[in-house]
Amino acid sequence: MRTPNKSIKNRLRFALGVIVLIVAFLTWKLFYIQVYKNDELQKGALEQWTKGIDIKSDRGVIYDRNGKKLAVNIPAYTVWATPADIKDPELVAKEIADLLLMDENEVLEKLKKDVSTEKIKQWITREEALELRKLSIRGITLVDDSKRYYPYENFASYILGFTDIDNNGLDGIENTYDKYLAGVPGKIVKTTDAANRQMPYDGEKIHDPQSGLSLVLTIDETIQHFAEKAANQALLDTKAKNVSILVMDPITGDLLAMANKPDYNPNTPREPLTDAQRREWENIPADQLPNKWYEVWRNFAISDVYEPGSTFKVVTAAAALEEGSANLDTHYYCNGTVKINGVELKCANWYNPHKDQTFAESINNSCNVAFVNMGRNLGKEHMLEYIKAFGFGEKTGINLLGEQGGIIPANTDVIKEINLATLSYGHGIAVTPLQMLNMFSTIANGGNLMEVRLVKELIDEEGNIVKSFEPTIRTKVLSEKTSNTMLNLLEGVVKDGTGRKAYIPGYRVGGKTGTALKIVDGRYAPGKYIASFGAIAPVDDPRIAVLVVIDEPVGVYYGGTIAGPVVQNVVEDTLNYLEVRPKFTEEEGELLKENIIVPDVRNHKINEAGKILSDLGLRYTTEYQNITVDSIIKDQFPLPGAEVINGSIIDLYLNERPSLITMPDLMGKTREEVSQILDELDLQYTFNGAGKVINQNPEAGENLNKDTNIVIELSEG
């Protein structure tokens, strides 16, 4: 046999070395997988073997301050499929589609997906769930679920907000406290083979969900009801764009009510509430429809800013008293106008100047000239200091989405003399309704700016308190002395000034009216106003602060005239509910005993009408800008012959040039079409019959005014 040469030996040695290295590497790799990667690979294997179906947790309940449920969960059921376990997808798809009123092809597509589990339909009814269980279809699982439900529908919708189909909070308290309300989901765990088929005797496990914590709000359902009812009536009466009514406990900063109208139903937040809204949305492209939803969901009370006008004079007056630049003995002279660097600023009563007036009379009269001088004496440094101290320019602390901080001067350098003058009576600054309410609360509680509180506490399923949110003082703004002085001054506004519409016998109500031109796209919009009224009651022991804001009213737009009665209703209802007993003065007691028949002062001159009413012990208000001695009373409320108590206020409506309107052609139109046309023209009309228009009086083309009563005859067909 031939002896191997040296080269063959070397090749054999090399091959043996390679084999040894490969065996060594495989041995090391096997050891690494079995020992070092054991836990990770075992976890991966378990994930492949096991499939889970989520079980949603119940959201926490939302209660009002007295334990009334404002947001709850109602039973619902979700249908899941395990496609690999379904032997005949076509048959199963037909059975499910017929039962759940679904598209058969859509169900079949879901059943044929190459996934471990697939959701078929969420939130089926209890009856549907019972029928589905009777079918006992392998591969179909029914999971007990819950659906968020708001039992009072559109009640307090801007506070509560709403959730999505998966019960995640999208707006309002549902969103900002979602981490507390949501809870921890559970899971159904099953073991499957490589083809996703459930293995028999696999020991299916159910991990129960953990319910979320419940919220106790500061909102009082009854007071919220008063505010909602009053806001809705004000919206109808004034034909305004928006109405917002806020009620607060000034001592704690607790928000007791926040009503915005129009509103939405959180159970169906994307559905229109009115027929008019439905018709409008039907003509909007689908990609633009979300913009309409966002408009509806926008919380006017915290997300919209406006120039407050005369309600802001409370800040100027309080700052002047606190700094000592004015006192109750200070006098101001009003000749109707005041010039600042050549710019003429008018008082609302420029045609009938207030002349010499005390500090209190200046507030009662809401005299712009007096407040311009008050602001100039105070100085721009102090003015800006108190604007910030009252919380303007920053958020209130309420935990809701979309709150704005408002707009204030950045520093004293930008406050010129004319800016200081207009700031003194509430122009050149933008605030939210909630900021204004908090300012009135600061006046009421002794001068403490409170953080607005909306949630009192978090509780578990047994009712145990998990977390409390205590009242918080943000800063001390005024002394007790200034606060008490301002309360007495504001009471004078309601008793003898522009706020007389909010007067309630037996209750000491203080307040301030405001009327301001609205700013649109950075400019004052002619004919568009915001009317407001802030109130505190009772001033001797403040229990509530109330703010009413009416955005773009049609017709009369003065805060005292249209917002005053709204404040009166809310304050009286709320104080009665809080069991605050009225305390009648001797004068009020005597007045309550006397009933007076309202005289007819129509067609009288304003000075004659005023004397007639005053002689009988009645008061009156007009709030028209251009009054002269020749102004004639066109109408009045209450009407002649009505019985009122002594001291009641009679609204007088003065003569104005009627605006002529051309009668539209209504022939052949339906009742709904006619109503829409004539409502837009703000005309009075009467229907006779039903169906379509066959006759109209006046005829098309005739001139008419707002007082014309139009008669429409309708006939079926």
Contact 558, 623 (CB under 8 A): yes
d(Cα 120, Cα 81) in Å, to the nearest integer?
7
Residues near 232 by beta carbon (within 8 Å), at least 6 away in sequence? 243, 261
Token pair recorded at residue 386: 């108190």
3-state secondary structure 638-695: CCCCCEEECCCEEEEEECCCCCCEECCCCCCCEHHHHHHHHHHCCCEEEEECCCEEEE
d(Cα 301, Cα 242) in Å, to the nearest integer?
10
d(Cα 432, Cα 568) in Å, to the nearest integer?
22
Map residue 326 onto helix, strand or coil: coil
Burial category of 334 from C-beta neighbours within 10 Å (exposed 0-12, middle 13-18, buried 19 and up): buried
Q: CB 298: neighbour CB atoms within 10 A?
A: 15
Question: Of 214, 303, 310, 362, which one is the catalytic site residue?
Answer: 310
- φ, ψ of residue 704 in degrees (nearest 5): -150, 165
Q: Percent helix, strand and coil across the chain, each rounded to 5? A: 35, 25, 35
Distance of CA 235 to the CA centre of its chain: 14
Map residue 159 onto helix, strand or coil: helix
In order of 54, 133, 139, 192, the CA distances from 200 in angstroms are 21, 20, 13, 9
Q: CB 458: neighbour CB atoms within 10 A?
A: 20
Angle of CA points 705, 706, 707, to nearest 5°: 90
Report the run of H or E that residue 18 belongs to, with start and end.
helix 6-31
Map residue 264 onto helix, strand or coil: coil
Among residues 87, 81, 83, 92, the alpha carbon closest in space to that of 121 is found at: 81
H helix runs in 240-379, sequence order: 275-282, 289-297, 300-303, 313-323, 359-365, 368-378
Token pair recorded at residue 283: 């003509």
Q: Is 310 a catalytic residue?
A: yes
Distance of CA 702 to the CA centre of its chain: 44
In order of 88, 110, 192, the CA distances from 117 in angstroms are 16, 10, 11
d(Cα 224, Cα 570) in Å, to the nearest integer?
10
Active-site annotation, residues: 310
